[in-house]
Structure 1
Amino acid sequence: MNIKDLEYFHQLVLEKNFSKVATYFNVSQPTITLAIKRLEEEFQTPLFERDRSHKKLHVTLAGQQLEQHVSLILNELTLAKKEVLRTKEEKLLFGLPPIIGNYFFPTIVTHLISSGLIAQFHTTEAGSDALLKLLLDGSIDFCLLGSLEPLTQRALNAETFASTEFKIIVSKKHPLAQKKAVHFAELKNEQFIVHNEGFIHDKALRLLARHNHFTPDIIYQTNYVHVLKSMVQSNTGIACLSEIALSPNDDLAVLDLLDEDRPKFLLSIVMRSNQVLTPTKEKLLQILRESVYQNK
């Protein structure tokens, strides 16, 4: 068995067409056929069935089971290549959601400068869902992530360091500005400004709406918290934000949520569980811990 055979097999499961797989790898069709034959001999079972009457290829139950393992093997090999090469480069690839970054990044940068690591530090900004995918595929090595539940995947080491509340923000001109707190059900007829999909704030809003049996009226979505706040301030709509996104300087009315089942915004330092830390990465992890606990 060799890795190329597994790559051909994996692509054939996706394409279900020998010619397309051969074209994808720029090899002859017999090359793919022989690779599958070798695997079937190795596992002593058919992995594909040809439906000649309909000119279709079906993956057998054994083939489906093998694919579960092959996809993990190929993913681990891709990760291994990235991580081994990165031990030579000593780049520090870091993911940061914008809202969390606004709160913690200045302190992190101060520590990075004083430790001499700033030149090796490369950041990627995106929503927590997008960063989690980048972390799992090896494109980044560390993240500060927000989540609604603890991150318990076996592939991750997640250290939750804070839990904050979600608040409802409205313009000071809005009738709700006279209140200190609301149940989310009271917001059924309001218009919402939200973060784009992939941001935990969007998930929290939709979860609250689902618990209260209505679909929120979303009039605008944005990646930028300052845009969201500005639109709320102008009374265009209302929004749901975590406490760390709010500042005493915001010209907004901030309302507590009274729902007993309201979600919490969990903040975690996250890395892959199988990642071997170089001394430089150990130093970054120490800086992250010092920075986030200093800012709590």
Structure 2
Amino acid sequence: MNNQDLMYFCSLIDTGSYTKAAAFFQVTQPTISAAIRRLSKHFKDPLVVQSNRKSKLKTTAAGALLYQKSKHLLQEIHSIDHDVLHASERKIRVSFSGVAGSMYIPEIITQFHQANIMSMLDTHLERSADIFQSLTNGDIDVAIYSWMVPINDPSYYIRNLHKTELVIITGLDDPWAYKNEVKISELRNRGFIARSEGYLTRECLEQEANLGNFKPNIIFTARTMQLMIDLVRQNVGIALAMQDTLKDTSNLHIIHLVPDQRLYAYMQIAMRKSFVPNDYQQKGIDILRNFHAI
């Protein structure tokens, strides 16, 4: 058993196809088949079964367990490779989602500047839906993000930073400018300005629509939060936003969902426990671990 065979096996399960797995690694299909045979012989189990060439691949109980453990192992190996190869680096890779970043990155930069280590920060902007996967893969060391539920995973140092309500915002000339509360069902016939898929407010809007058994009418997809807010101010449509991130509420009206239907966003900072900082990086890691202690 070797790492390459495990990579081929996981890709086969992920793609459901010997041909696609081979194409992904730019090898021949018999190469993938040979790896599966080696693993099957090692574990004395077929691992994957297929009634005929056109039927869907299925894992045996042993195959399902091997897939689960192999994915974790390969992620750890990827993390080890990066951490050892870059053990002497003077950088900490920090990714942040747009809203969480706008709230906390300026303060983090200030603290690094005051400690005279600002050059240590290597920052990246990612969607909330992608950022934790980057952390899991070992592509970053620290993540600052927001999501619909607080993430609690013992593999990471996680600190809760803030909780905020998701609200409907309208322009002052909107027909709903007099409302204080609405039910999810009332959103069915409204046109929304929304962020693209993978952003927290879009995912929450989709969830609300799912709870109300309808598809949201998205009349425009805004590339930035500011554009979304500006279009709402112009009464082009309404939007779902995180209340505490609305720095300027002029010409905006805020509407809450009824209490039993409200959604919240949770902002967190997380870092890999497997990341072992060198002596130079430790000062920056200490700042991040104690950032907004609660």
Q: TM-score, normalised by structure 1?
A: 0.83
> Structure 1 residues 67 and 232, CA, compared in 2 at 3 Å: closer, same or farther?
same
> Structure 1 residues 166 and 88, CA, compared in 2 at 3 Å: closer, same or farther?
same
Distance in 2, matches of 1:217 and 1:22, equals 38
> Structure 1 residues 244 and 291, CA, compared in 2 at 3 Å: closer, same or farther?
farther
Instruction: Find the residue that maps to 2:176 and give its secondary structure.
Output: helix
Corresponding residue for 2:253? 253
Code of the residue aligned with 2:167 in structure 1: it is K
Is 1:230 paired with 2:230? yes
Deviates more, 1:225-234 or 1:238-247: 238-247
Code of the residue aligned with 1:245 in structure 2: it is T
- Note the C-alpha offset of 1:20: 7.3
> Structure 1 residues 289 and 88, CA, compared in 2 at 3 Å: closer, same or farther?
closer
Contact 1:170 1:235 in 2 (8 A): yes
Distance in 2, matches of 1:211 and 1:48, equals 37
Contact 1:18 1:33 in 2 (8 A): no
Contact 1:107 1:291 in 2 (8 A): no
Is 1:267 paired with 2:252? no
Code of the residue aligned with 2:181 in structure 1: it is A
Contact 1:15 1:21 in 2 (8 A): no
Distance in 2, matches of 1:22 and 1:252, equals 51
- Note the C-alpha offset of 1:38: 4.3
- Note the C-alpha offset of 1:233: 0.7
Contact 2:79 2:274 in 1 (8 A): no
- Note the C-alpha offset of 1:157: 3.0
Corresponding residue for 2:241? 241
Code of the residue aligned with 1:123 in structure 2: it is T
> Structure 1 residues 151 and 175, CA, compared in 2 at 3 Å: closer, same or farther?
same
Distance in 1, matches of 2:36 and 2:144, equals 42
Corresponding residue for 2:209? 209
Corresponding residue for 1:171? 171
Contact 1:183 1:258 in 2 (8 A): yes
Contact 1:170 1:254 in 2 (8 A): yes
- Note the C-alpha offset of 1:192: 0.7
Corresponding residue for 2:71? 71
> Structure 1 residues 209 and 57, CA, compared in 2 at 3 Å: closer, same or farther?
closer
Code of the residue aligned with 2:161 in structure 1: it is F
Is 1:127 paired with 2:127? yes
> Structure 1 residues 115 and 50, CA, compared in 2 at 3 Å: closer, same or farther?
same
Larger radius of gyration: 1
Distance in 2, matches of 1:54 and 1:222, equals 44
Deviations 1:151-210 (A, max 9, x none): 023433321122111222111111222233333433332111111111111122222233
Contact 1:162 1:268 in 2 (8 A): yes
Corresponding residue for 2:96? 96
Distance in 1, matches of 2:36 and 2:127, equals 40
- Note the C-alpha offset of 1:230: 0.8
Contact 1:208 1:262 in 2 (8 A): no
Deviations 1:240-280 (A, max 9, x none): 11123212464312223323231111111112243334445
- Correspondence 1:44-83 to 2 at 5 A: 44-47=44-47, 61=60, 62-83=62-83
- Identical columns (%): 27
> Structure 1 residues 191 and 43, CA, compared in 2 at 3 Å: closer, same or farther?
same
Deviates more, 1:65-74 or 1:135-144: 65-74
Q: TM-score, normalised by structure 2?
A: 0.83
Distance in 2, matches of 1:18 and 1:216, equals 37
Contact 1:22 1:32 in 2 (8 A): no
- Note the C-alpha offset of 1:119: 1.3
Code of the residue aligned with 1:191 in structure 2: it is G
> Which ranges in structure 1 are unaligned for 5 or more consecutive residues?
none
> Structure 1 residues 271 and 85, CA, compared in 2 at 3 Å: closer, same or farther?
same
Code of the residue aligned with 2:209 in structure 1: it is A
Instruction: Find the residue that maps to 2:259 and give its secondary structure.
Output: coil
Is 1:197 paired with 2:197? yes
Instruction: Find the residue that maps to 2:42 and give its secondary structure.
Output: helix
Contact 1:161 1:268 in 2 (8 A): yes
Code of the residue aligned with 1:90 in structure 2: it is R
- Note the C-alpha offset of 1:45: 3.4
Deviations 1:9-62 (A, max 9, x none): 445555754897499465895x766655543443233446687x8599966624
- Correspondence 1:141-160 to 2 at 5 A: 141-160=141-160
CA-atom RMSD, angstroms?
3.3
